[in-house]
Structure 1
Amino acid sequence: MTPSDDIATFAAPPYPGTPLADAALLEALWRVVAAEGWRGATIEAIAAEAGVSAAGLRARFPIRALLLARHASVVDRVVIDGTIPDGGGSPRERVFDVLMRRFDALQPGRAGILRLMEELPRDPLTALAIVPLLPVSMARMAEAAGIAADGALGAVRVNGMAGVWLAAMRAWRKDDSVDLSATMAALDKALDRAEGLARSLRLPDGDRMTLTAEPIQP
């Protein structure tokens, strides 16, 4: 066994808690996208990379956008499963922690995700398919941070978190550091701006930026 083989054998799985078949499929998805682009990431190419039958893959995911939805769901679940209930800290600190861990969960597919993001402006149909995934994920992240995401006010909070996420995402796309330090700094600044906006709108201290709201009651 070579040193690289040893590292590969004992490295942590990219999507902990996910069925091995699904984890392998998502890894294959992003390898193909990174190499061939989204246009070249056909069901047949992804199936071949994952070592599964194209017919079986197509039966489960009739359109490729469903693979993207599955990835988003898996990433959300990784973050939720890694969240310590009643972990303490301020709402802002909990939001920061949850969103940074979501960026960490994106890292295994980084090359493919970046290429997909580069191609989205030229693929409006895929972009439209992805757009609805963001508020769903942000609602899950809000709840993981102990922030209520239901009702009319919850929707506003989710939109606020989505804005913070997208601002930090711009930094993540360029951040090739091991510790994602530039992404952390951008996320911190985005939270500052959001809180500043909340103060200018005279939102109460208990609901700054519509993220630091009343926590979810057990």
Structure 2
Amino acid sequence: MVTAKTKQKILKTFLDLLSEHSYEDVSLPLVAERAGVKLSDMRSAYASKLALVAAFAEQIDTAVLDERDEDMEDQPPRDRLFDVLMTRIDALADRKEAVRALHRAARQDPALALDFNRLEVRSQKWMLIAAGIDLSGMKASLVAQGLAIAFARVVDVWLDETDEGMPRTMARLDKELDRGSSFMRQLGTLDSVAKGLRSFFRKASDKRRSRDVNSEGDPHSPEEAPAGA
């Protein structure tokens, strides 16, 4: 069985290779060779390159969750989310070139972009949790998807920024969160409308069932009326 240490070694090797080569050029046999592991161990640890990318995303998620600032709990949700997403950028900093390779690959391959998006949506659900934003069901999925797209735009700016203070990255994140706040307000309105419609149709259905029951119990209902009536 492949140990956790070996899995970490393989993942590190994969990310190191991404810093030097394109995603397309980093094959599983190459990773195994550079990591000094057998192909059978490579297969047991990570069955695909996407599994390696998923492990990287999980590693970043864990780093952000571990660095969660509890002093931010009394701040507005938007500020908490800003702090969490900037912490995510910080966590990605040591692997900036690997992230660049992944983003370039996603732009060139729509199918791969969809795979990466699925992983990013899962990560952003955890970022919302880290920010103390409690959502569930379809709303959680919609918001996480929107946040995944917004964060990708922020990362695009970050990849080209050389200023360590990251003013352009923070400005872009501010802009994206402003858009997100507007979306959340619209979503809240739609949610209220949907709840109202559900309540209306439920009441209408209850009335219809009640009317049907009363009709069945009425001896003078049309179905039971005497033939000569």
Tell me whether 78-87 or 34-43 shows the greater mean CA deviation: 78-87
SS in 2 for 1:35: coil
| Cα distance between partner residues in 2 of 1:183 and 1:127 | 22
Whether the aligned pair in 2 keeps the contact of 1:27 and 1:109 (CA below 8 Å) is: no
For structure 1, which segment, 172-181 or 88-97, has the greater mean C-alpha deviation from structure 2 after superposition?
172-181
For the residue of structure 1 that corresponds to 2:24, the secondary structure is: helix
Measured in 2, the distance between the counterparts of 1:129 and 1:162 equals 13
Residues 57 and 123, structure 2, Cα contact 8 Å, conserved in 1: yes
Pick closer, same or farther for the CA change 1:50–1:117 going to 2, 3 Å. same
State the match for 1:150 in structure 2: 136
State the superposition RMSD in angstroms. Answer: 2.5
Q: Structure 1-normalised TM-score?
A: 0.74
Q: What are structure 2's unaligned runs of at least 5 residues?
A: 191-229
**Among the aligned pairs, what percent are the same residue?**
28
AA matched with 1:143: I
Mean Cα deviation higher: 143-152 or 23-32: 23-32
Ranges in structure 1 where 5+ consecutive residues have no aligned partner: 1-18, 205-218
Aligned pair partner of 1:43 in 7, 25, 28: 28
Q: Which has the higher helix share?
A: 2
Paired residues of 1:72 and 1:133 also in contact (CA < 8 A): yes
Counterparts of 1:124-139 in structure 2 under 5 Å?
Answer: 124-139=110-125
**Which residue of 2 is the match for residue 7 of structure 1?**
none
Higher relative contact order (CA 8 A, sep 6+): 1
Separation in 1 of the partners of 2:46 and 2:186?
46
Following the alignment from structure 2 to structure 1, what is the Cα–Cα distance between the partners of residues 93 and 154? 14
CA offsets 1:108-129 (integer angstroms, 9 cap, x no match): 2211221232133333443232
> Mapping of 1:106-185 within 5 angstroms?
106-185=92-171
Q: Deviations over 1:26-76 (max 9, x none)?
A: 332122123221122111222233333332122221111100011111111
Query: CA offsets per residue over residues 126-164 of structure 1, 9 Å max, x none?
Result: 323212112111100000100113223222332332243
What residue identity is the alignment partner of 2:174?
Answer: D
User: Superposed, which structure 2 residues align to 1:13-32 within 5 Å?
Assistant: 21-32=6-17
In structure 2, what is the equivalent of residue 34 of structure 1? 19
Distance in 2 (CA, whole Å) between partners of 1:203 and 1:27 is 45
**Pair member with larger Rg:** 2
2:61 to 76, 83, 88: 76
Structure 1 residues 202 and 145, CA, compared in 2 at 3 Å: closer, same or farther? closer
What SS class does the counterpart of residue 133 from structure 2 fall into? coil
Is contact 1:43–1:57 with CA below 8 Å preserved after alignment?
Answer: yes
Partner of 1:59 in structure 2? 44
Q: 2:84 aligns with which of 95, 98, 122?
A: 98
Which runs of structure 1 show a deviation greater than 6 angstroms over 4 or more consecutive aligned residues? none
Report the TM-score, using the length of structure 2 for normalisation.
0.71
